[in-house]
Amino acid sequence: MASNAYIIANKRAVSSHPHRQPHLPLLLLLFSLFFIGKFDLVSALNYTKYTRKVSNLRLQRIQKHLEKINKPAVITIESPDGDIIDCVHKRKQPALDHPLLKKHKIQRVAPEMPKVKTLKRDEGSGDSKRKEGEDLIWQMWHRNGTRCPKGTVPIRRSTTRDVLRAKSLFHFGKKQSTTINPTRRADAPDVVSSNGHEHAIAYTGTSQEVYGAKATINVWDPSIQEVNEFSLSQIWILSGSFDGSDLNSIEAGWQVSPELYGDSRPRLFTYWTSDSYQATGCYNLLCAGFVQTNSRIAIGAAISPVSQYDANQYDITILIWKDPKLGNWWMGFGDNNLVGYWPAELFTHLADHATMVEWGGEVVNSRANGKHTSTEMGSGHFAEDGFGKSSYFRNLELVDADNSLSSVHDISTLAENTNCYNIKNSYNNEWGTYFYYGGPGNNPLCP
């Protein structure tokens, strides 16, 4: 299939299977001092408590920050969902503002793709008879037919409203740092399991050297109860200590986050940190770090269409691996489309290799009304509901020291509260190692 402006994905017919404007001038900003919140209506979410009196000084600080991250555009594209996509010259992108990347030269030669180890498949063993067909899944901004010219990269423009939804300017675009949950199992990973973060994940052991991971991830649009909650499905590439301040993490997947994006659409996202989410790193291109090379895929842009219950299923394939020659961590998307990379200079432990990979879902449970959130994970259905109803990760793979991809066989699973969200893994010759996961959150058994 030709690799073009579309995001490549797979469309699956249901059967029995085992398994979103430009930043405003300051005068206009002042006009909206008292009513910022009312412009940010997202589904049925209540933004009333986010309506606040904003000082002129704070607006000036926000404007200065936006001028730093919203780089001058060669052309600008308006997306049907309200997003503004700026086509920025690749050498002007935010990444190169990072102090560690002042002398960094954008990698011109494509990295060596991981080799695929051939797996023998027993064609007669599975009972899958569903019709296979590949389709193109668009990002919303593609729909008007305009593309970013060669030599530029598409960057979703950030607005004052985006920043005001965050807890503070410092917190804009960042995951909150957390402390370790003392009740976790001793042998289980715990990236952000405290402060109301809940997971349903599969993970590898910590004794091996890992140089990348891959998976195909089912895309849904889970409902979010509170503006400051989110639901995501992603791959984590990890190294360092979970109980210290030196954890390195590279992450990519899809996410619904009203606070970050101002709507409830699933969006392609990335994240990185080199100090356990304390000060370094951010989502997407909201700080210096990730170097984008692709002119057709916008990180942070909405994915459409998405899977529907008991109907067509759509998934995206994400690959993250370490370039064996230059050491940068690259992200591939869909049919071997290179999106960009995290330079090795950003990291400490990951400058060498990863020690753990996680795949799965995460939500924020703020217990706003004293009850467990009804924010959904995945499709909002538990793992046992299966194909077309539950969300899935399939074809879980790891990259080894020889830059070879192979199916993962030895994984563990973790869900903090299986009455709220759960996970069930399995293996077959078509999907390799896979799992169904997710749940509705609040229900009679999850109060």
pLDDT tens digit string along 275-306? 999 999 999 999 999 999 999 999 999 999 99
In the predicted structure, residue 37 carries a pLDDT above the cut 90: no
Name which residue leads in pLDDT, 369 or 62.
62
Residue 119: is its pLDDT beyond 70? no
Mean pLDDT of 116-144: 52
Q: Is pLDDT of 182 > 60?
A: no
Q: How far is CA 315 from the centre of its chain?
A: 13
Answer yes or no: is pLDDT of 168 > 60. yes
- Is 284 inside any structural domain? yes
Asked whether residue 11 is assigned to any structural domain, the reply reads no
Residue 26 clears pLDDT 60, i.e. is over it: no
Sign of torsion over alpha carbons 103, 99, 353, 404: negative
Reported confidence tier of residue 243, pLDDT bands at 50, 70, 90: confident
Q: Scanning the structure block, which residue is given the tokens 């509901």? A: 385
Question: What torsion do the CA atoms of 351, 354, 359, 360 make, to the nearest 10 degrees?
Answer: -60
Which of 50, 437, 409 has its CA nearest to residue 262?
50
Confirm whether 156 is domain-assigned.
Answer: yes
Beta bridge partners of 361: 200, 233
Give the tokens for residue 246: 């030196």
The two tokens of residue 11 are 């469309």
Q: How far apart are CA 285 and CA 260, in angstroms?
A: 13
Distance between CA atoms of residues 25 and 100, nearest Å? 32
Number of H helices, E strands in the chain: 4, 22
Write the CB contacts of 103 (distance below 8 Å, at least 6 apart in sequence).
none
Task: Determine the pLDDT at residue 127.
Answer: 31
pLDDT of 136 > 50? The answer is no
Q: What is the pLDDT of residue 439?
A: 98
Tell me: pLDDT of 47 over 60. Answer: no
Would you place residue 194 in the very low, low, confident or very high pLDDT band (cuts 50, 70, 90)? Answer: low
C-alpha to C-alpha distance for 181 and 178, rounded to whole angstroms: 9
Q: What is the mean pLDDT of residues 98-106?
A: 94
Summarize the confidence of residues 4-16 as an average pLDDT: 38
The pLDDT of residue 165 is: 96
Is 273 part of any domain?
A: yes
Q: Is the pLDDT of residue 7 over 80?
A: no
Residue 242: its pLDDT value, please? 85
Higher pLDDT, 195 or 137: 195
In a domain, 183, yes or no: no
Tokens of residue 389, six digits: 């109803």
- On the question of pLDDT at 423 being above 90, the answer is yes
- Residue 54 confidence (pLDDT): 81
pLDDT score, position 226: 96
Query: Could you tell me the residue range of the domain that residue 216 belongs to?
Result: 61-113+136-178+193-439
The residue among 221 and 178 whose pLDDT is bigger is 221
- pLDDT over 60 (residue 137): no
- Say yes or no to pLDDT of 222 above 70: yes
- Does some domain include residue 50? no
Q: What's residue 208's pLDDT?
A: 83
Q: Are 274 and 244 spatial neighbours (Cβ–Cβ below 8 Å)?
A: no
Q: Average of pLDDT values for 35-52? A: 49
For residue 1, is it within any domain? no
* Candidate from 131-140, 141-150, 244-253, 408-417 with smallest mean pLDDT: 131-140
Summary mean pLDDT of the chain: 85
Q: Which of 399, 219, 202 is nearest to 317 (CA)?
A: 219
Whether the ω angle into residue 305 lies within 30 degrees of 0, i.e. cis, is: yes
User: What pLDDT score does 41 carry?
Assistant: 39
pLDDT higher than 50, residue 8:
no
Q: Is residue 128 included in any domain, yes or no? A: no
Residues marked as catalytic: 251, 362
pLDDT at 206: 75
Instruction: Count structural domains, the chain.
Output: 1
Give the Cα separation of 40 and 50 in Å (integer): 9
Q: What is the pLDDT of residue 21?
A: 41
Q: Rounded to two decimals, what is the model's pTM?
A: 0.85
In the chain, % of residues over pLDDT 70: 80
Task: Summarize the confidence of residues 186-200 as an average pLDDT.
Answer: 64
Least reliable range by pLDDT among 53-62, 156-165, 223-232, 434-443? 53-62
Please, how many CA atoms are within 13 Å of residue 190, restricted to the half-sphere of its CB? 19
DSSP reduced 3-state for 19:
coil
CA distances from 362 to 79, 80, 96, 235, 341 (A): 28, 28, 30, 11, 23
pLDDT in tens, 322-365: 999 999 999 999 988 999 999 999 999 999 999 999 999 999 99
Q: What is the pLDDT of residues 380-399, one digit of tens each?
A: 999 999 999 999 999 999 99
How far apart (Å, rounded) are the C-alpha atoms in residues 265 and 220? 9
pLDDT on residue 310? 97
Q: How far is CA 263 from CA 219, 227, 230, 396, in A?
A: 16, 9, 11, 30
pLDDT number for residue 134: 36
**Amino acid at residue number 247:** L
